[in-house]
Structures are given as structure tokens and as C-alpha cells.
Amino acid sequence: MTLAVRDGLRSLRHTPSTPFAAFEDSQVVQAFLDGQDRAFDELVSRYQVRLLNFIYRTVGDRERAEDLVQEVFIRIYRHLHRFDQSKKFSTWAYTIASNLAKNELRNRSRNPLVLFQTIKRHWEADHRPLQFEDSSSRPDDLYRKRHLRELVEQSVSQLPEHHRVVFVLRELEGKTYEEIAEITGCNLGTVKSRLNRARNNFAAIIAPHLD
Amino acid sequence: MNCCEFREKHSDFVDDLLNPQEQSDARAHLTACAACRRFDATLRAGLDALRALPDVGLSHGFRHRLQWRLRDELAVRVPVMARWSGAVGTLLLVATIGFVGWDLLQSRATHRRGAEWAATTLRPAALPLAANVPARVFPAVRFSSLDPRSDAFHPINSILVTDPPGPAARGNQVRYDLPAVWGGP
């Protein structure tokens, strides 16, 4: 599935239920700053799933990712009046999300209990019954799909943290090199170098499973 | 282009960021090198599988929880405002107390001046009264020292002056307490 299709599906999922649906991000931000609280709901609707997926692919823990997405929105709400409106709102939101994800990974590496809880949660998820997933597909198809999905997710999770962030931003979120540089606070050369290494690593990790 | 160069520039090759000459060289290398061809195919297949991953969905109560957290955030902001309004309120209170105190002092000073005037004018020798009292100074001094029922003389401890002296007299009464030496309390 291409990035365009993914974005299309995401936008379809977001029904235009508010008067801000046709607005650009910058207009929605301005509306919120002008005192229209519902504009913030629009920002949440636009970014909640995207940020959840980005953080989830980075930290590998769905529940924790959801908590962090909430934290992203709290910080956006708190500091939106300081946001430089000459820049892209999405880049700013991803920067906050990226920093929180990095902090989470750093804290987790320092706290073995958190690491254990994460592993335990994954173990429980791995052992849930297959028949609850999708009753319309054949069991062997379901197994193959789920297996491939897990392999891909594991391959991403095995990348070093600073490579993983760049890799997810590029491959899943479709960010440009310049945007990634801004989000991660690195220069363009570093982004290119990290992305190239991440892709090489990813290919090396997943190659045995794809053959 | 050799394998090392190809791998080094592979990311840009995938993203079509190489210049036309480099792009052409990379394609030529890909045709000639089976290992790099396999590597390129593996990476592209892996990226396709990655992009095909379904989106992770939000849990049912996500928005509700977020709303609560935003309310908490607002609740944190209110005390900050309250703290400032408290400071402003304290300043106003201090200013009010200061004004009232100043006004009280002014009022006391006025009364003190009146008492001094009474003390200098109502000399003990002028009491008890009548003939010696200059009408000009005491247009309406009423002495209550004489009890009409018992005909007893009570020591004077205060006098009541109707209209302080002056042309703009308007019938106001001012009570002046007299010092004990004059027979007051």
C-alpha cells in the first residue's frame, strides 16, 4: 500500500464533522488561538491516529504509545500560543512526539521493570486466539499475514533507536528529508546517512524471512 | 559503480534522488550484480510489507480520557490566575486599609484641632459659664452640668457645640470631651 493510499484511508476515516474540516492546519491553529476551543478537537482528529502509529512503531508498546499521544496533545494545548506559525504544525507535533518517544526508550532502558512489563504485554498479545481477528479469511491466510506483520514489526523494533525514528518517519509517515531533519534536530547529511543504514539493517534483518 | 558505492547510494536510488548520471550507473550496476539486485528486491519487498501494516487504532476511551486531561490542564491554569488575582486583591486590600487609616488619622487630627481650640478657648476660668462666656465664640454651647430635678451640680466632662464658629454654620453639633482637670471624668 502506498503512502498516498494510506493517507487517503486516514482522511476517509476522519469525517468532516466540524466547521474546520476544510481548513489548513495553520488556519485551525489560528482559530484555536482566537478562542475557538473546538478547533483543538479538529487538530486532535487529524493527528491522533498518525501520532499513535508513529509512536507505536518507535516504542513498540501500544498502551504506552496511547499515553504518549495524549501527552503530545497536552503539550500542544499548553504551548500552542508559542508555536511559530511560519512553520508546519505537523512538523512541530511530530517533533514533540519524537522527543517523548526518545525519552520513553531512554527511561525504559534504565528501568528493567518497565521493560519486563512490555515484554509480558507482548507475550499476552502473541498468545491471543487467532479466530478473534477476522472470521472472513481463511485461517492459513490469517496466520501468514499475522506472521509477516509480526516479522516486519520485529525487524523495525530491532533497529537502533536513532535509526528507527528516521526510518519510521520516512517509510511510514512519508516525511521529507528536510522535515525529518527538523523533527529529529539533525542535519540533512545525518538524516540521509541514518536512513541509509536503517534501510540496510532492515533489509538484512527481514531478508531471511522473505525468502 | 561498484557494490560499495551502490549500497552507499542505495537510499537515494530508492527515493529517486540521484542525478541522472548516477541513476543510470546504479541501474547498470543492478543489471550486472546479482547480489545487489537481490538486496534491492529484498529491501523494496520489506518496505512494501512495512507500508502494508494496518494502522494501530485508538482505544475506545481515548478522546474521553484526553478531554479529562485537558480539563485538568485548565484546572491547573485557574489557580495560576487565582494566584495573580490573589496578589492583586492583596494589593487592593492594603491600599484600602491604607486609605481608611489615613482618613481616620485625618479625622482624628481634625478632632484634635477642635479639642485644642476648645482647650484654649474654654479656659477653666470661663467655666462654669454664662456671663464670662463670649457669645462670639460659643454661639450655642449647652452645659449639662446642672441636673434640673435634683438641682445638683455634676462635673462637666464634655461640651456639645452646635455650629463651629464661622459664617457658614449649618447647625451641626460636635461633642468635645474635656480634660479631667476641668472636672471631666
Contact A194, A27 (CB under 8 A): no
Q: Test B73 with A77 for CB contact under 8 angstroms.
A: yes
Res. A5: pLDDT tops 50: no
Nearest 5°: the CA angle A53, A134, B60 is: 45
**pTM greater than 0.80 (yes/no):** no
Residues of A in contact with B51 (CB under 8 A): 1-3, 6, 171-172
pLDDT at B166: 54
Name every chain B residue with its beta carbon within 8 A of the beta carbon of A64: none
pLDDT at B130: 46
What strands lie across the sheet with B173-177, from one edge to the other? B141-142, B158-162, B173-177
Q: Is A17 on the interface with B (CB under 8 A)?
A: no
Q: Give the per-residue pLDDT at B83.
A: 61
Q: pLDDT value at position B148?
A: 57
Please report residues of B whose CB lies closer than 8 A to that of A201.
none
pLDDT of B124 reads 47
Q: Contact at 8 Å (CB) between A170 and A164?
A: no
| Interface residue A188 vs chain B (CB under 8 A) | no
Give the pLDDT score at A118. 54
Q: Is B65 on the interface with A (CB under 8 A)?
A: yes
Complex prediction ipTM: 0.72
- B17 vs chain A: nearest CA distance in angstroms? 11
Q: Can you say how many angstroms the Cα of residue A62 is from the centroid of all Cα atoms in its chain?
A: 10
With beta carbons less than 8 A apart as the criterion, state whether B140 and B150 touch: no
> What pLDDT does A52 receive?
93
Is the CB of A6 inside 8 Å of chain B's CB atoms? Answer: yes
* Residues of chain B falling short of pLDDT 50: 124-145, 180-185
pLDDT at A24 over 80: yes
Contact assignment for A70 to B62 by CB distance below 8 Å: yes
Residue B18 distance to chain A (closest CA, Å): 12
Q: Which of B43, B52, B57 sits opposite A1 (nearest CB)?
A: B52
Amino acid identity, position A15:
T
Q: Residue B136 has what pLDDT?
A: 38
Give dist(CA A164, CA B150) in Å, integer. 111
pLDDT of residue A167: 93
Q: Count other C-beta atoms under 10 Å from residue A203's C-beta.
A: 23
Give per-residue pLDDT as tens, A40-51. 889 999 999 999
- Mean pLDDT, chain A, rounded, equals 80
The top-scoring range by mean pLDDT among A5-9, A38-42, A128-132, A138-142 is A38-42
**What confidence score (pLDDT) does residue B131 get?**
45
Determine the pLDDT at residue B149.
62
Q: Cell numbers at residue A57, please? A: 512503531
List the single residue in B42, B47, B49 with the smallest CB-CB distance to A148. B49
Residues in chain B: 185
Percent of chain A whose pLDDT exceeds 70 = 75
Question: What are A151's three cell numbers?
Answer: 516479522
The predicted structure's pLDDT at residue A90: 92
Q: What are phi and psi of B159, to 5 degrees?
A: -130, 150
- CB atoms closer than 10 angstroms to residue B159: 22
> Which residue has better confidence, B87 or A137?
B87
CB contact set of A151 (below 8 Å; sequence gap of 6+): A206, A209, B49
Query: Which three-class secondary structure state does DSSP give residue B153?
Result: strand
Long-range pairs, B30-35, Cβ under 8 A, ≥24: B30/B6, B33/B3, B33/B6, B35/B3
Nearest Cα to Cα of residue A208 among A158, A140, A141: A158
A77-135 pLDDT, tens digit each: 989 888 888 889 999 999 999 999 988 888 877 766 555 555 555 544 444 444 444 55
Share of chain A above pLDDT 90, in %: 35
Q: What does the pLDDT read at residue A141? A: 66
Contact: B42, A203; criterion CB under 8 Å: yes
A195 touches chain B (CB under 8 A): yes
